[in-house]
Amino acid sequence: MKKIRIAFVGGGWILNWHARGFLRMKEHCGIVAAAEPNEQRRADIRRLCGNPNLPIYTDYNEMFNAGRFDAAVILLPHHLHVEAAVKAASHGYHVLMEKVMARNTYECQRMIDACKSAGVTLCVAHDRRYSKDWAAMRKVVASGAIGKIEHARFEYNGDSARSDSWVYYIETVGGGAMMSCMTHQLDALRWMCGEAESVYCVSQRNENKMEGDCADVATFRMESGAIAVASISWMTTVSNFLNAHKNTLWYEFNHICGEKGDVYFMHGKGTFLKLRGKDAPPEYEHAARGDFVNISRELEDSGHDGLAENYVKMLMGERHDFSSFGEDTIKTVQLAEAAYISNETRSEIKLPIPQTPWEDRVYLNKINLKT
């Protein structure tokens, strides 16, 4: 059986996770090339990809022209996503885009249209969808065990802003902490609880940390009638999310409350379920007998492993659980974009919102961009 040939566009920190995931699928895929202009990163790229002779191009256009792979995994700063995706599609390559998909829905739509026209897939690396802990939580909700959702919250603690990083700048990240990382929580909200009909958001800035928002709290009215909240803080003292199961401030926390019970996830601890009443599904009967029951404890699990596995299976035409296609995850970007508009206009924003070029977007009117 022919192996899927993978090429990386960009060799920054996130490559650690993507390379590991695809190497675990080495019987079905191979990492055959990379593009990275920074020569100092090349030794690390070859080490992470397990190939001391891996071809590394200075410019991704040169790599695209070489035409020796099937899928481009794009790991660039957010403002470069749309151009790289459109060019990859024009060469006939499938595109896997590191989240967030793009800076706004206008850019997302350009990518969707380009990939559709070229007949290639456009996927987004929302790795949390492929974490065993998060998947266990979604499975509970989908089973109906907790009944109709009434309230949900998705929270993120971190300290990721650095003045020497592209993440510091509004123009390159597409806003701030919300567009960079709270999109994990926004995507989980949609994935587990369905679509929102409106959003209201307040944001906090600290220019010592980054140009854009450092903390955000967004509330949602869901189409189902539930209410929800998603929040992020990059003003906290999480030492390292890899050590979040130790005695540190927790990294991510998800909680969904339903008519018949509650399910929650805490990073480094697991996923827990408690049901009320005696009509629990057989699979979850043990969660209706007392305290919360841990139904998933995958402390070493990385969603990127599951992401790579399901992505490769999807491209091979095998049975898979891949779900974060571009035509779906544009709606995750829409939530973040609408939340920014809400903060600047101090109003509740109804969905959907019109697609507007980055330079013309309302939430930039009060921000002095450094270009």
Q: Is 206 buried (19+), middle (13-18) or exposed (0-12) by CB count in 10 A?
A: middle
**Domain tally for the chain?**
2
Q: State the pLDDT at residue 269.
A: 85
pLDDT at 289: 81
| Range 58-79 average pLDDT | 95
As a whole number, mean pLDDT of residues 321-327 equals 97
In a domain, 365, yes or no: no
With respect to residue 84, please indicate whether it lies within any of the assigned structural domains. yes
- Quick check: 46 and 23 in contact, CB under 8 A? no
Residue that is last in its domain, among 245, 268, 300: 300
Residues 150 and 121 in one domain: no
**Per-residue pLDDT reduced to its tens digit, 161-189:** 666 789 999 999 999 999 999 999 999 99
Residue that is written with structure tokens 């390292």 in the block = 240
Average pLDDT along the chain: 91
Q: Does some domain include residue 95? A: yes
348 belongs to a structural domain? no
Residue 231 DSSP SS3: strand
Same domain, 175 and 250: yes
- Same-domain check for residues 206 and 283: yes
- The answer on 250 and 138 residing in a single domain is yes
CATH of the domain at 287: 3.30.360.10
Query: Are both 49 and 164 inside the same structural domain?
Result: no
- 115 shares its domain with 141: no
Backbone angles phi, psi at 123, to 5 degrees: -125, 155
Half-sphere CA count of 272, side-chain side, radius 13 A: 15
Residue 270 lies in a domain: yes
Same domain, 153 and 285: yes
191 and 323 in contact (C-beta within 8 Å)?
yes
Please tell me whether residues 159 and 29 are part of one structural domain.
no
Note whether residue 340 is domain-resident: no
At 294-309, the pLDDT tens digits run 988 665 567 999 999 9
Within-domain flag for 141: yes
Instruction: Give pTM, 2 decimals.
Output: 0.94
Q: What percent of the chain has pLDDT over 70?
A: 92
pLDDT recorded at residue 365: 62
Same domain, 119 and 134: no
Is there a single domain that holds both residue 101 and residue 16? yes
Which tops the pLDDT comparison, 367 or 221? Answer: 221
DSSP letter for 325, please. B
Q: Which domain holds residue 292?
A: 129-300
Give the pLDDT confidence score for residue 208 in this predicted structure.
83
Spatial neighbors of 52 by CB under 8 A, at least 6 apart, are 46
pLDDT of amino acid 302: 79
Please indicate, yes or no, whether residues 100 and 149 belong to a single structural domain of this protein: no
Residue 236: the pLDDT is: 82
For position 371, what pLDDT does the model report? 33
Is there a domain that residue 341 lies in?
no
Look at residues 252, 180, 169 and name the one whose alpha carbon lies nearest to residue 209.
169
Distance between CA atoms of 277 and 288, rounded to whole angstroms? 7
Q: What is the CATH number of the domain that holds 94?
A: 3.40.50.720
Whether residue 116 is found in the same domain as residue 144: no
